[in-house]
Structure 1
Amino acid sequence: MSVRVRYARKERLARKLHALAPQAERELTEAALKGAREVVDAAKKFVPVRDGVLRDSGAGVLLPETAQRQRVVAAAVFRAPHAHLVEFGTAERFHKSGKSVGSAPAQPFLFPAYRIMKRRIKGRMSRAITKSLKAVARA
């Protein structure tokens, strides 16, 4: 059994669907960047502060498209060279003589901030898609 569907105004539907992709991508990019900036702001509240270098190095940025990444991605980035060491900690280190240099306990700040903000970011992105769908449908 086969089913045939005939679309009245097929060209109009095709135009709307082609217009949807750029509109949705713009909306999603804005929502993702805003979410990344909010994660950074929340993470700054959790960062252990000694001299403030780590806290001040945070930013929400857009990562451009590359060969491996086909879409624009927003990321919460801490540019301080020791950010990963603070987030994940270090194992105990030793000199050649066997003397312990010490270890640094993990002091997570970025991942807890992401977990707190995740629902808000997903909701914002869902609303952005819905907004672009409605805008294209009205046109």
Structure 2
Amino acid sequence: MVQGLKSLNRKLTKTIPDRVRVKTRAALEKGAEEIVAMMKSFVPVDSGALRDSIGWTWGAAPEGSITLGTVRQSKDGDEAITIYAGTRNKNLGDKDAFYVRFVEFGTQNMPPSPFFYPAYRNLKRRVKGRVTREMKKAIKEGAK
């Protein structure tokens, strides 16, 4: 029989996951801020509407925007962070940035000016490493 097994199970199912969730959330937010800042520095600026439409959120992106994808913090999907650009909102008038896909991928008459995916690819490893480090640190803190 293993001594302290009940205590270990309690720590693994309650204490560590809460601590890991908090640390992971903070690391994801910091990574999203970095990616958004780089995207804004890469995007060509005309009226500024497209640059201003770039952002991140917990949950779903605004209607009409393109997303990098969604990172779920758990298998249940109770928390998801989404990085997005562009909008499809006629109420915004000249601030509607429905054309984000045209800028990113180009058209027959316009060459692409990629900003969205290059920023993501540039920072992906750094953000993933930060999240992993923070998770490991939280687990070690909980084991003490």
TM bin (shorter chain) = 0.7 to 0.9
Q: How far is 1:86 from its partner?
A: 0.9
2:12 equivalent to 1:17: yes
1:69 CA drift (Å): 6.6
TM-score, length of structure 2 as denominator length: 0.74
Partner of 2:80: 73
Moved over 4 A (4+): none
Q: Which runs of 5+ in 1 are unaligned?
A: 1-5, 93-102
Q: Whole-Å Cα distance in 1 between the matches of residues 125 and 78 of structure 2?
A: 22
- How far has the Cα of 1:75 moved from its partner? 2.3
| Residue of structure 2 in register with 1:99 after alignment | none
Match of 1:87 in 2: 104
Identity across aligned pairs (percent)?
A: 36
TM-score, reference length from structure 1 = 0.77
Give the equivalent residue in structure 2 for 1:98.
none
Give the 3-state SS of the residue equivalent to 1:107 in structure 2.
Answer: coil
The residue number in structure 2 matching 1:41 is: 37
Count of residues in correspondence between the two structures? 120
Superposition CA RMSD, Å = 2.0
Alignment of 1:1-139 (within 5 A): 6-18=1-13, 19-63=15-59, 70-79=77-86, 80-90=97-107, 92=108, 103-138=109-144
Q: Greater share of strand residues, 1 or 2?
A: 1
> 1:104 is paired with a residue of what secondary structure?
coil
